[in-house]
Amino acid sequence: MLARRMAETIAVAPRRRTWLWVVGFLILALVGYRLGVRTADAPSVAAVSGAAPGKGAPPPVPVVAIAARTGDMPVYLSALGTVTAYNTVTVKSRVDGQIMKVAFEEGQTVKEGDLLLEIDPRPFEVQLAQAEGQMARDRAQLEVAKRTLQRNGELLSQGIIARQMYDDQQAAVGQFTGAVQMDQALIDQAKLQLTYSRITAPISGRVGLRRVDVGNIVQANDATGLAVITQVQPITVLFTVPEDDLRSVIGASGDADRLAVEAYDRAGQKQLATGALESTDNQIDPATGTTKLKAVFPNTDESLFPNQFVNVRVLLDTKKDAVIVPGAAVQRGKDGTFVFVVKADSTVEVRPVELGPAAGGDATIARGVAADEKVVVDGVDKLRAGSAVKLRDDAATAEKKAPPA
């Protein structure tokens, strides 16, 4: 019995050792695999330092740089404005009657005094004839009364008639004289009504859409009117400015010449017209803290139209001999505005700057950059203080980076 158990133990021992070897090999293989994966994922020293294998520093960053220049920079005050007609007239009839003729076309440019509409004149011609007939009768009676008064004066001097008869005749002459004067007023009124039957343009300008047709009966001072005439040459633009800027406008407008005003389209890209500041309002709106200004434009090409919205720029001053850089060169950070200045060793320096007026995609530097120093306008997103750069000639890119005025 003992001998059999010993034989079984001797037979099982090699199998256990075999399993132990297999398990150990699997554990070692797993550990080796994990170590290999970590080694493959670990970054190299060159990658951490940012340097390429075999090099001590990153390659230079290609950038576009433009030299700062000196020049004159206009100082503008910008605002939103609405184009308004220089004069607007709603044409109305001053008499009642039927329209016999429409002498204008919609959208036509008319001059002051041009015939627009004609109302049937016959009723007014009849009134004029009646007034003239009444005057002829009253004049005849006045003439008779005057002759009778003359005869009564002779008879009174001879003592043939009483004084009362002479006085009564003198009063009759006065009555007929008043009647003649009233007749003359009626004639003038009838002539005026006849004149009103021809409706003419009170101002020069563009006629809008007509509101009546031939054959319509119109009444005096109808609320809707017959047509609207707007004077668009010249034309005005109304705009508002904050009360804080009003002093600058008043101070600049004290010069001999009126301030120049430019009108741009909605996008602020295309200049539509150039004019001059005409007047300012006499009070500030307490609700908005703004005041109204009016500019006048010749509008010879009719580029401005009533009720059109435009961007307005008022030229307040011109800054002479200013240091000017493209607007794309100016960067903004938590510490304020700065630019990247290219140094002689082809590295960049972060230079804080103080900005002045800006216009036309350019900005003036009041402090921080001198003339002829090169500032980076393209490629700034990859730069840091001290970064090495490589200049490339790409003026077109620089122009595209410049913001609009």
Confidence tier at 52 by pLDDT (50, 70, 90): very low
Tell me what pLDDT residue 404 has: 43
- What's the topology of domain 93-120+203-225? OB fold (Dihydrolipoamide Acetyltransferase, E2P) (2.40.50)
Q: Give the model's pLDDT for residue 22.
A: 59
Q: pLDDT grade, residue 19 (50/70/90)?
A: low
Superfamily of domain 78-86+232-319: Efflux pump adaptor protein, beta barrel domain (2.40.30.170)
Fold of the domain built from segment(s) 61-73+320-400: 2.40.420
Q: Is the peptide bond before 234 cis (omega within 30 degrees of 0)?
A: yes
Burial of 319: CB neighbours in 10 Å, binned 0-12, 13-18, 19+ = middle
What is the domain partition of the chain in residue ranges?
A: 61-73+320-400, 78-86+232-319, 93-120+203-225, 121-196
Which is the CATH superfamily of the domain at 121-196?
Helix hairpin bin (1.10.287.470)
Of the candidate ranges 32-41, 69-78, 272-281, the one whose mean pLDDT is the lowest: 32-41
Would the pLDDT of 51 be above 60?
Answer: no
pLDDT at residue 54, as a whole number: 43
